[in-house]
Chain A
Amino acid sequence: MKLELRGITKRFGTLVANHDVNLVVNPGEIHCLLGENGAGKSTLMNILYGLLIPDEGQILIDDEVVTIRDPKDAVGHGVGMVHQHFMLIPVFNVVDNVILGSEPVKPWPVIDYKAAAARLLDLANEYNFEIDPQATIENLPIGTQQRVEILKALSHHASVLILDEPTAVLTPQETDAFMVILRSLKESGKSIIFITHKLREVLALADVITVMRLGEVVGVTTPAQADERKLATMMVGRDVNLMVDKAPASPGEVVLDVRGIYVEDERGLTSVKNVSFEVRAGEILAVAGVQGNGQTELVEALTGMRRPSAGRITLNGVELAGEPVRRFLDAGIGHVPEDRQRYGLVPTLSISDNLVLDQLDDPRFRRRFGRNLKAIKNNGVQLVERYDIRAQSEEVAVSALSGGNQQKVVMARELSRELKLLICSQPTRGLDVGSVEFMHRQIVAIRDSGVAVIIVSSELDEVVALGDRIAVLYDGDIQAIVPPTTSREELGLLMAGARAEQVTL
């Protein structure tokens, strides 16, 4: 099926999110959509999927103009979409989620679960997906949940599949599996529109690459004609330094001292076991590890969200374990949570308000009675400018921001606080290459100003680029703390559970 978008324009008030965008997707093609945060990629895809109505322009399928007013129309025309934030019901099982909205009934009104499960398995076999139809969604890893979303789209006979930043939340291993899936979908003649900020994936997968900037298409190219550097320049409109420049750290005294902590997860299983380490002023400790080896619980313990069942957490000599979150914040701990939408933002509030969410008591933002709205607004104006948050103004609700710009809001807020220790989980998730470069420089600058920094990232590149020391977490325990010069193979072995002494260092 050939798909064409012609002259699409979409405005939000005075902001032009898409301006006269043209896009052609041929059958059996993987078409990568690349562009800065806020360039209008998600908007364009939401238009194609009927979630937004364009102000101008047409959608053509096999050279015929079609009207798509809502997702039902889109599905009817063979368009499927997997959103960056999954739309699955966590307590339902795989079959339930896939048939939701188009339940096979026989006889009415009884749902024919057996037929549904059989169909699902057929479909999964066709594309070599491994999936248990009866598994409950919330117990599945993110990568598998994503497969369920893809299956759901395929079960509606989608011949064009839109994937909005599917790899942002995947581990490197899951990403590899995902690329295999994409290729097999392509083999079977499906067209795929794929949005990502990871240039390496683009070069590995794309047949055609369309680059957007400020709502317009600025170029169409192919992997053969481009490389990472060239793509980055096309996107951002300037040269991007893909490496992190940083001087060697000059660590000061110990800021954070963690001694023998044990942390339990929701199910009561011990997911952090007897972990001890310290972080000094002016250094970056990067935590590497395959997702699910205790990173989440460790960060939750270090930020006061979860009380460790044993052990001590001291910041500049003050014991914090078991104290409320407020005390951790007041002690000077900044926290960029992994799931920004759930833990980092209040989407209905404005950008300015979100930029002071955890600083309500800061004298800068208070008056004798109540909050100092003027100062909060000024702060918003400044940070929006400084962190290049793309928005109509600092007064708009955060929910109207693009994914990457939401991430910038959280980063801007935490980096602008008076800090002793900064803890960032996935600091650059969803950011474009230009913003990644900028954030990395900010994190290094914070380090150089004498703040202790902990970075948790599933991107090995980021861990190696930022860390002054790298702690490898495996099964809730620190396998080893190694220098950033350690080879990737060695890091890989450590992450897979090899003991430090088994790895030649």
Chain B
Amino acid sequence: MTTTATQPARLGPLMRLALRARHANMFIVLVLALFVGLIFGGIMIVVTTPILLNSWSHAFSHPGATIASSFNTVWFAYEQLFQGAVVNFHALRMLIDNPSKVNLATVLTPLSGTLTYATPLIVAGLGLAIGFRSSLFNIGGQGQVVAGGVLALLVAFSFHLTPLVQVPLEILAAMLGGALLAGLAGVLKAYTGAHEVIVTMMSNYTMTLVLGYLLIQSLFARPGARDGASKAVGATGQLPYFFSHLSASLLLNFGFVIAVIAVIAVQWFFKRSKTGFELLMVGQNPDAARVAGIFSKRSIIICLTLAGSLLGLAGMLELTGVDHFITPNFGGSYGFDAITVALLGRNKPWGVFFGAIFFGAMFTGGEAMQAFTPTNIQFSLAQVIQAVVVFCVATPALLIEAFRLRDGAHLVSTTGSGGWL
């Protein structure tokens, strides 16, 4: 009964591939986000470099030269960014020509810096992602990182056992610290309805003050320190460096392995474990979870406790992997950066992993860019690029519209729907 009104157009394979690429998926969104970030950063470089900006005022007389000089500057800056974050080609060539310990260390330095910076961020991002996946907005990452760091430090200088016992003890203490703080927010939410955003936000301030107090107590304070630093973690409590035999500047440590284990564990937790599945249910549709007999109060408490324990662990990794002591601004902005990392990774474990590494790369690469570009391009430019990328990933609707991708509706939700990687 059907009549063919129009003959469907025959498409060549290339055309079909092009059409396929216009179907929105997360990979394409990420690539486009990076692309937009780099373009935007490029414009910023031109605008903020006086010589280039001047050359554009003569753009009509020498259009070619103007574009070329701008392009070269931007290209050079991004080359520095990349080489500072991933691998330095110059050093690589030296290593190939002349294999030696020193050359190997130079090749490894950028990546080591990136991964070292990323390590606590991976674990903290995972902790926050657990909450977001379950629709709980734990923004108390900062306080939980501090709680974990403080308890780990307490264990670190209270005992001097063999590393095989000492380090796990520190881990447990740190996880307990974060778990107690976040779990408190969970209990309050479950039994009194107190909103977790308020409670966890307040706990950040509380922990900052508690930390300030502790650092002037003789128990924690390092005798004679003027910067308010604490006692240090002893040698047996530190996470071992992987490449200390090559160079003292290679800071990549065993914490990275712990972070990878945490990624796998969280992946397993949501995919395989009953509790993780229940958290997903409660997060995605609490009404259906209730009909299926899931006790949501319990889920809320479990969820925040687990999230907190990972954030506490992040504090421990920061303490025992890099600094080895605590200062009043311990943890930097890890607790908040981790929120962005979770968002960037769309709350999926491996997404968080790569999101954190991207942050690490922009940090170490940004420093290199500032140091090695002749026009002295600022470190904050890397952060501008990072911000644009995050912005694009957080609002896929914008990219989908701008690049006219098809059927992107399933990407336009920040909690990240769909299956696990």
Contact = CB atoms under 8 A, between A and B. Distances in A.
Contacts of B419: 350, 395, 397
Interface stretch (A114-122, A323-331, A448-456, A461-469): A323-331
A329 B293 contact: yes
Interface stretch (B2-10, B144-152, B153-161): B2-10
A345 B8 contact: no
Interface string B284-323: 1101111111110000000000000000000000000000
B2 A345 contact: no
Contacts of B418: 348, 397
B291 A305 contact: yes
Contacts of B8: 7, 9, 20, 56
Given A7-B6, A20-B2, A370-B273, A345 B285 contact: yes
Interface in B1-25: 1-6, 8-9
Given A22-B3, A57-B6, A373-B272, A346 B280 contact: yes
Given A324-B293, A348-B417, A370 B272 contact: yes
A68 to B, nearest CB: 14
Contact of B285 (A22, A326, A347, A373): A347
Contact of B6 (A58, A335, A361): A58
Given A22-B5, A217-B1, A395-B419, A371 B272 contact: yes
B58 interface: no
Interface in B254-282: 268, 271-274, 277-278, 280-281
Contacts of B280: 346, 349
A52 B407 CA distance: 7
A353 B291 contact: no
B286 to A, nearest CB: 10
A347 B284 contact: yes
B62 interface: no
A20 B287 contact: no
B406 interface: yes
A343 B2 contact: no
Contacts of B287: 342-343
Contacts of A397: 417-419
A407 B287 CA distance: 17
Contacts of B288: 342-346, 357
27 contacts: A7-B5, A20-B8, A56-B8, A58-B5, A218-B1, A305-B291, A325-B291, A326-B294, A326-B295, A329-B292, A329-B293, A330-B293, A335-B291, A342-B287, A343-B291, A346-B284, A348-B284, A348-B417, A349-B284, A350-B419, A358-B292, A358-B293, A360-B274, A360-B277, A360-B292, A373-B272, A395-B419
B407 A357 contact: no
A345 B291 CA distance: 10
A304 B295 CA distance: 12
A394 B34 CA distance: 34
Interface residues of A, number: 49
Nearest to A327: B293
Contacts of A218: 1
Interface residues of B, number: 33
A22 B272 CA distance: 46
Contacts, number: 104
Contacts of B271: 373
B5 A358 contact: no
A147 interface: no
Contact of A216 (B2, B5, B277, B292): B2
A328 B293 CA distance: 8
Contacts of A303: 291
The 6 closest A-B pairs by CB, nearest first: A370-B272, A358-B292, A326-B293, A348-B417, A6-B5, A325-B293
A373 B268 CA distance: 11
Contacts of B293: 304, 324-326, 328-330, 358
B234 to A, nearest CB: 36
Nearest to A217: B2
A21 B4 CA distance: 9
B56 to A, nearest CB: 37
Contacts of B417: 348, 397, 399
Given A52-B407, A397-B418, 4 more contacts: A218-B1, A346-B285, A371-B272, A397-B417
Interface in A356-377: 357-358, 360-361, 366, 369-371, 373
Contacts of B9: 56
Contacts of B274: 360-361, 366, 370-371
Nearest to B280: A349
Contacts of A371: 272-274, 277
A154 B195 CA distance: 42
Nearest to B273: A370
Interface in A370-392: 370-371, 373
B166 to A, nearest CB: 28
A439 B2 CA distance: 32
B290 A305 contact: yes
B57 to A, nearest CB: 40
Nearest to A219: B1
Q: Which of A7, A361, A373 has the most CB of B within 10 A?
A: A7
A53 interface: yes
B288 to A, nearest CB: 5
Given A360-B278, A370-B274, A371-B273, A20 B285 contact: no
B293, B295, B417 — which one has the most chain A CB atoms within 10 A of its CB? B293
B410 to A, nearest CB: 8
Contacts of B277: 353, 360, 371
A282 interface: no
